[in-house]
Structure 1
Amino acid sequence: MTDGIVAVVSGTTAPERVLFEAARRADDSGATVHVLYVLGLEWYASAELWLAERLRIPTGIDTIRAICERKADRLAAPALERYETAGRIGHPIDEIVEYATEVEADTVVVDGDLQSGTGAWRRVSDPLEAFRERELSVVPVY
């Protein structure tokens, strides 16, 4: 039995494919699906500046993290019956691996075309290889 499955819904233009695959695997194994939205540091800085200067909303890492978690929940709610959500800020691969370790997940489901979406993956030439090096089972969906 799989301990958990992390479905990464950031960095993709089609999160429903990621969620469908995570749900299918959870149904087969009885695992918990953890829906994760990771905001890269440059996007975090932009979001904080936009909220603070344009909307005059006090910000901080907790505020932005809560926004990420709400985004994950909005994406997951129509597709999944049971799930847990999380929002993280930092280098996407590091944050995904750290979160998967925290929730004892052994599988990460990601969009196979990580170069699309928010551009959060652009610092790595082959992001899937970076996950494999950390001994996580990676399931790319296309």
Structure 2
Amino acid sequence: MPPMDDDGPFFHGTKADLQLGDLLVAGRRSNYRPEIVMNHIYFTALPDGAGLAAELAAGDEEPRVYVVEPTGPFEDDPNVTDKKFPGNPTRSFRSTSPIRVVGEKTDWTRLTPEALQGWRDRLAVIERERGEIIN
């Protein structure tokens, strides 16, 4: 993986309660499809994109957006750049190296229940039509 030229800041959305200094690592179950163990850890340079990821994650806990820093090289996330958006307008990335929690962002935009359901419906269609996650 070549290092990227995006300097961030970077964000990770989840429903996990994390602490400053925690390392998020590859090899854990997907936030969205728990039957899949992920080979990468995912993050974005858009706080509302991380917020969307947090809201779509499985579980009943509160969605949270953390400020993170990569500890190693990272690449464009091919699940969105190649499948949905040419280039990387979502500024979405992945890495096999850990990412470190350096803060929490609390002023991201929450979705309405209707908008959240709309995203879930769209993702279900994409999954049926396009198949597996590029892991």
Q: TM-score, normalised by structure 2?
A: 0.28
Q: TM-score, normalised by structure 1?
A: 0.27
**Greater per-residue helix proportion:** 1
- The structure with the largest alpha-carbon Rg is 1
